[in-house]
Amino acid sequence: ELNSFTWLASLATTGMANANCPTEQGSPAEERRLHDFKPTDIEEKAALCTSLERGSTEEQYAPSVFEKYTTNVTLGKKEVVLHLYDTAGQEDYDRLRPLSYQNTHVVLICYDVMNPFSFDNVLIKWIQEVNHFCRGIPILLVGCKTDLRKDKEHLKKLRSAQQEPITYKQGEEACCQIGASVYLECSAKFRENVEPIFSEAASIALNAIKKAKRQNKSRPCVLL
């Protein structure tokens, strides 16, 4: 059954001599790494990645333990390299997921707008896990597969189970409920709003990094 999934993103500008975010020691440039939590909805996540990276979607997707996608995002005069790490979503890998949490600067929680169970899992599963391992990290909530809201076959199947698609308003309400920074929707199949989602994630992450640096500078030095 389709489910929601979550990406963790460790972001920083790259290819800029005057980047605002500190590089890791020994690293030639700053990097952004998007790691995912548990994508039961494998096809949509892969479609998002390939749509962003190559400008197209793939019909078939063979899951692996780790799959990497890379793309560039431009924010003003800064260019940022996105490294998307697609990790396995099976229960067997649940214990490995926390290994990706370190140095995360933004979280993307994604769900299928045609799957109420996926939507419910945002509140039941993912926000609980995010708050536990990534407390204080900004969150983006993303509704996926919006093109299917008008698909007669999918609507018929959904309504046969006495269910309806998740509306934009419901997504906004959930965004407020979980304390996310913004709610966005997309259709990877038709490349609708794909790039803006990752640009917004990058912008929010960089702003959070700058804010943290300002707070660190304002803290007094206490000698004991």
Instruction: Specify if 30 maps to a domain.
Output: no
pLDDT in tens, 203-213: 888 888 888 88
Instruction: Specify if 22 maps to a domain.
Output: no
Instruction: Specify if 175 maps to a domain.
Output: yes
Domain enclosing residue 128, as ranges? 5-13+39-217
Instruction: Specify if 24 maps to a domain.
Output: no
What's 49's domain CATH number? 3.40.50.300
Instruction: Specify if 168 maps to a domain.
Output: yes
Instruction: Specify if 222 maps to a domain.
Output: no
Residue 152 identity (one-letter amino acid): K
3 neighbors 120 (Cβ within 8 angstroms): no
Q: Residue 164 contacts by C-beta under 8 Å, 6 or more apart in sequence?
A: 116, 158
Q: What is the Cα–Cα distance from 48 to 56, expressed in whole angstroms?
A: 9
Instruction: Specify if 33 maps to a domain.
Output: no
Instruction: Specify if 124 maps to a domain.
Output: yes
Q: What is the pLDDT along the chain (224 residues), one digit of tens a residue?
A: 334 555 555 444 433 333 333 333 334 333 444 433 222 233 345 566 656 555 555 444 444 445 666 777 888 888 877 666 555 545 666 677 677 677 778 888 888 999 999 899 899 888 988 898 888 889 999 999 999 999 999 999 999 999 999 999 999 999 999 999 999 999 988 889 988 988 898 888 888 888 888 887 766 656 65
- Quote the pLDDT of residue 34: 42
158 neighbors 145 (Cβ within 8 angstroms): no
Beta bridge partners of residue 73, listed in sequence order: 80
When divided into structural domains, the chain yields a total of: 1
Q: What stretches of the chain show up as alpha helix (H) in DSSP?
A: 42-54, 116-121, 127-133, 152-160, 168-178, 194-218
